[in-house]
Each structure stands twice: as C-alpha cells, then as structure tokens.
Amino acid sequence: MYYGFYVVGLRHFGRVRYGPSVLDGQRHGLLVTVDGRRIYVDAADGPGINREALAWADVYGKVNLTLQDSSSSLMAIGPSYGVTAWGPVGAAVVGTQTALLGRTRDFREHYAWFYRQWRYRVAESAYVPTVADPQYVFFLSSLWVREAQANEIRARFVRAARSTPGLQCDGGFAPRRDGNDLGYSSITVSDRISITEYLDRLKRSVVAFNTPAVRDCHGWKLAEYLAMGKATITTPLSRELPAPLEHRVHLHIVDGSMESINDALTEIRNDASYRRSLEVEARRYYEQYLAPRAVIGRLVG
C-alpha cells in the first residue's frame, strides 16, 4: 500500500507516464517517466536492488538503501507510509490502465492493492502535528516471527511505559491473525483498531517509539512519527537516509536496553522544552526530505 505515497507527490510535477510495473503490489516498485526522466521507486523492506530497473532508470530511489550499494543513479529516499492516492472510481480506472500495460500477471492482487489503499488508508494530509498529552503514551505494532530482537525491544518500551508512575500506557502488540502471541500475551491487545483511531491515539501520545524491524528496514512508523511531529525514541537506524537524523535534534536515540528507554521516556516527559524541540525538528525534517512532494522533487532533479 506504500506506493500511493509517491503517486501523491507525482501530482505536483510535469507530465507523468506510468510504466508497466506501476503499483503491482510491492514486488515491482513504481516505474514512471516525468517529462522524459525515467524514475524507479523501490519501497521494499529488503536491501536488494532490481538490476533491470537500475539499468532502465535515470534515477532509482530506494527506501532501504545500504552503504554497500554504489551507483550514480541510486538515491536514498528515506521511509514512507501508506496513504490514499485514489478514491474507488479513480482506483478502478488507474488499476485497469496499468493492468492493461501488459506485465501484470496476478490481476487479483493488482486490483487488491488499489482497493486496500482507499479502503484502509487515509490522505497524507491527516498526518499532521497536534498537542500531545504528557500523561499519555500510545504504542501499537506487529509481532514478527523472524524478528525476535525487534519484538523484545518493543516489549521493553511497553513495559517501561506501563511502569512509569502517572503515565497512562495504551496499546501493545496487535493480535496476529494466526493467534500466535509469541510469548507476549500480557502485552498483546485484544482487538485491532481503525487507521483513524490509530492516528488519533498516536497524535495524543507524549512520545513515539521506533526500532528497525523486517530485515533492519526503515519502518513506515518512523515516517509517520516524523510527519506528525512526534518526540520519537528510537534504536539506531540501519539504512541510509537523504540526510542524517540526529540524536537530540530530530529524535532521541537509545541502545534498546530497559534503562536507556526509561531514561529517555522520563526526560522527554519531564522536559517540555526538549520535547517541543524534538517535535518541531521532526516535522521540519519530514517536510524537507520525506514528504511526497519533497521526495519526488529530488528524484525529478
């Protein structure tokens, strides 16, 4: 559902022509030509490069770029998140147009992407800062079978928040569809919530918590937190960014231990000036480097 983010940005630029792989799930990326410039956007979790697309593109924008990758056409674009790019009619029209370009093999999955982006997501404009409540913290994330370390670090944050006097902690791990709580039953919530409820609670939260997850990727939560100007506690980031996210400027970096998380949570809660500075700089970074228009602007050149 994440390529709609870039479609929103493309609407600000020139004459856009979608290529045959546009929005076909998350397997093929987003291939477009803007005023003759060939652009490929890769939002996959892993660090792999689509070599065919790299050879085709004038510029290849990748969310999870590593230092080992070197090419003059590769560009780190940072994390993004799913947004609504089309309503039901627009989704049906563009879905059909791109399917007819000839490379879509799984038509059901192709159309399912267009359905999900308007059914389960909201507009990028909903991700804006609001005033946080110093007595409330919200966190909700998935449990990953193959990411035991990420699960444990996230659990530490929930435990730290729950044990902080005077702080209402809301959330935990979202229930898995297979019912497996991976040993975190006491931290797993009973029901899933809508995206609007999720955003309302997150905006109210005094802090947000981030840690890389699947294959050490930039999670979409990081982009959401920056967009909403959250004071964010994070473990070290593993992938390249369009510009550094600095400790105590844009976010607060911890080593993942319970002690470091507790210290960060206490400081951000109690120091309103520091918290406000993190909030302002987070949103500023998003607007300059991660917002759809900013990302596409760099890719268009």
- Cα 288 from Cα 180, distance rounded (Å): 40
Q: How confident is the model at residue 25 (pLDDT cuts 50, 70, 90)?
A: very low
Whether the predicted pLDDT of 107 surpasses 80: no
Q: CA 8, CA 70: separation in Å to the nearest integer?
A: 28
- Tokens encoding 133: 């409540």
Strands 37-42, 59-62: pairing is: parallel
pLDDT in tens, 178-233: 999 999 999 999 999 999 999 999 999 999 999 998 889 999 999 999 999 999 99
* Percent of the chain surpassing pLDDT 90: 74
Band of pLDDT at residue 26, cut at 50, 70 and 90: very low
**Secondary structure of residue 137 in the 3-state scheme:** strand
List pLDDT tens digits, range 29-77: 888 899 999 999 999 888 889 888 899 999 999 999 997 777 889 999 9
State the SS3 of 182-247: CCCCCCECCCCCCHHHHHHHHHHCCCEEECCCHHHCCCHHHHHHHHCCCCEEECCCCCCCCCCCCE
Do residues 135 and 123 make contact, with C-beta atoms less than 8 angstroms apart? Answer: no
**Single pTM value for the model:** 0.94
Q: Per residue in 220-267, pLDDT tens?
A: 999 999 999 999 999 999 999 999 999 999 999 999 999 999 999 999
The CB density around residue 91, as the number of other CB atoms within 10 Å, is: 22
Which domains, ranges and CATH numbers included, belong to the chain? 4-125+291-300 (no CATH), 136-290 (3.40.50.2000)
Task: Please report, for residues 9, 97, 173, 225, 248, the alpha-carbon distance to residue 156 in angstroms, rounded to integers and kept in the order given.
Answer: 36, 47, 12, 19, 21
- Give pLDDT, residue 181: 94
- Three-state DSSP class for residue 172: strand
